[in-house]
């Protein structure tokens, strides 16, 4: 089938037609309701977290704000960072302040169904990615090339906006002002990136957060150098995306460190030349990696490295730390440190003097480093929320990598679930029995 036909097919599934008209709800099969300009009263199902836990409930839309977009969700990815929110094992919360009820999610992919009158970037009928992190293009950070820390994010002080209410009148907000685990995402246009691709929705959805984080970290944020070494700590969806990004950039060798055997095999399949088990290597992991990367050539004046055993000149050119603290205890192989502090420190140590450390995980606690080496040994530390990605410029490139097969998102999306099984999906993610679970609506 031709690409154009596939795109037409995607629009047909959505039950919408492309239109330049900026305000009208189009009466879709799902989330149907009064087809009035402001969308008020439209009903849709969503996985909502309240103080009582998480469950699928019906939400009634409030009037659509002028600068917001209504998107019929096709797929959304279960991010490990919100496992406790979804399972009800943590206090209901998140960025943007305390709210009584919150549709969970880190964005997703879908078809624009209606737009407010102030929206000009997207139109009904467009397939878009809703990113976990906004990219307004106009704030202080966006203007300096750091869309990953765009200040329109609730984590940068933006308030969560109520977009609906439950049957009892409780106002409903959305995680990060995007939601995702709902038939409709109602968000600001600065979260939307065109995704006019024929790729499966479940694969595109992982670019809204984890896929772009790992892929972007090594391709656009800190582009790794052809022929140089990359170590990826952790083979979750971010780590496996980073492994593929390193492969695409021509890194050599690519080493992946991961406690779960199944994930190590996946890392090998997706481009890692060497895989290591941190539970086997223990405190010797850094020395092991330095040894693997010590040469040849072994003479300094022939381009070689210091041959002193365990010298920090022998470490990796690039290290990507993706390990996060355990939110719930895994039911499969556990890493050596549930806080992820140890692998984070090891990542810093195994970065060669003058090399690059990219940190993407969420360790818990504080770290202590040797001050002299931290100050003088030339390691560059790059801290990236959303992998340092500038969504509007980077995601179209990542989407094309999925379309051409250069980036194998399908191997990372290991399970799909319907909305009703959102809780089960997050349980599998928390147990670490699946790599990347996606809830689909089509
Ligand atoms: Zn996420
Ligand atoms: Zn911004």
pLDDT band at 88 (very low <50, low <70, confident <90, very high): confident
CA distance 188 to 154: 12
> What is the number of the ligand closest to the CA of 156?
2
Cα 61 to ligand 1 centroid, rounded to whole Å: 25
Residues of the chain by 3-state class (helix, strand, coil), percent to 5: 35, 20, 45
Neighbours of ion ligand 2 (CB under 5 A): 136, 139, 142, 150
Cα 133 to ligand 1 centroid, rounded to whole Å: 9
> What is the number of the ligand closest to the CA of 391?
2
Which DSSP letter does residue 64 get? P
For the stretch 16-64, pLDDT in tens is: 333 334 444 444 444 444 444 688 999 999 999 998 889 999 999 999 9
Please give the span between the terminal C-alpha atoms of the chain, in angstroms, as a whole number: 19
Cα 309 to ligand 1 centroid, rounded to whole Å: 40
Cα 136 to ligand 2 centroid, rounded to whole Å: 4
Cα 164 to ligand 2 centroid, rounded to whole Å: 25
CB 41 within 8 A of CB 27: no
Mean pLDDT for the chain?
Answer: 90
To the nearest whole percent, how much of the chain has pLDDT over 90?
81
CB-side neighbour CA atoms (13 Å) of 118: 9
Q: Are strands 380-383 and 351-359 parallel, antiparallel or unpaired?
A: parallel
For the stretch 304-360, pLDDT in tens is: 888 888 889 999 999 999 999 999 999 999 999 999 999 999 999 999 999 999 999
Res. 13: pLDDT tops 90: no
Cα 395 to ligand 2 centroid, rounded to whole Å: 16
129 by DSSP, 3-state: which?
A: strand
pLDDT of residue 98: 76
Cα 100 to ligand 2 centroid, rounded to whole Å: 27
How many degrees, rounded to 5, is the angle at CA 44 between CA 206 and CA 6? 45
> What is the number of the ligand closest to the CA of 139?
2
- What are the CA-CA distances from residue 357 to residues 282, 348, 353, 376 (Å)? 20, 6, 10, 15
């Amino acid at each position: 089938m031709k690409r154009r036909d596939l795109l037409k097919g995607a629009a047909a599934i959505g039950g919408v037609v492309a239109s330049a008209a900026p305000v009208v709800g189009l009466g879709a099969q799902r989330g149907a309701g009064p087809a009035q300009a402001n969308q008020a009263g439209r009903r849709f199902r969503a996985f909502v977290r309240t103080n009582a836990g998480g469950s699928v409930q019906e939400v009634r839309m409030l009037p659509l704000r002028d600068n917001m977009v209504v998107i019929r969700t096709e797929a959304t990815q279960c991010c490990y960072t919100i496992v406790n929110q979804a399972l009800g094992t943590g206090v209901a919360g998140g960025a943007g302040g305390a709210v009584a009820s919150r549709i969970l999610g880190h964005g997703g992919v879908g078809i624009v169904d209606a737009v407010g009158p102030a929206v000009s970037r997207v139109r009904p009928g467009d397939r878009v990615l809703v990113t976990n992190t906004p990219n307004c293009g106009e704030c202080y950070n966006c203007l300096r090339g750091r869309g990953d820390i765009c200040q329109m994010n609730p984590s940068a002080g933006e308030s969560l906006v109520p977009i609906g209410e439950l049957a009892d009148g409780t106002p409903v907000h959305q995680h990060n002002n995007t939601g995702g685990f709902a038939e409709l995402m109602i968000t600001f246009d600065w979260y939307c990136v065109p995704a006019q691709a024929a790729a499966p929705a479940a694969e595109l959805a992982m670019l809204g957060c984890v896929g772009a984080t790992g892929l972007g970290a090594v391709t656009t944020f800190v582009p790794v150098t052809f022929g140089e070494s990359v170590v990826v700590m952790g083979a979750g969806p971010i780590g496996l995306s980073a492994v593929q990004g390193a492969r695409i950039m021509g890194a050599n060798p690519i080493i992946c460190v991961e406690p779960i055997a199944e994930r190590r095999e996946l890392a090998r399949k997706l481009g890692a030349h060497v895989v290591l088990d941190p539970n086997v290597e223990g405190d010797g992991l850094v020395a092991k990696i330095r040894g693997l990367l010590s040469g040849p050539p072994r003479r300094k004046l022939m381009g070689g490295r210091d041959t002193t055993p365990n010298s920090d000149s022998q470490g990796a050119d690039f290290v990507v730390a993706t390990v996060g603290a355990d939110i719930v205890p895994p039911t499969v192989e556990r890493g050596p440190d549930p806080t992820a502090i140890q692998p984070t420190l090891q990542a810093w140590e195994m970065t060669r003097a003058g090399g690059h450390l990219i940190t993407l995980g969420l360790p818990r606690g504080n770290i202590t480093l040797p001050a002299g080496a931290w100050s003088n040994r030339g390691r560059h530390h790059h801290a990236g929320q959303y992998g340092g990605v500038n969504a509007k410029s980077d995601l179209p490139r990542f989407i094309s990598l999925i379309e051409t097969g250069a980036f194998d998102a399908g191997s990372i999306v290991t399970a799909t679930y319907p909305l009703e099984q959102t809780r089960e999906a997050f349980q599998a993610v928390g147990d670490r029995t699946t790599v990347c679970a996606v809830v689909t609506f089509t």
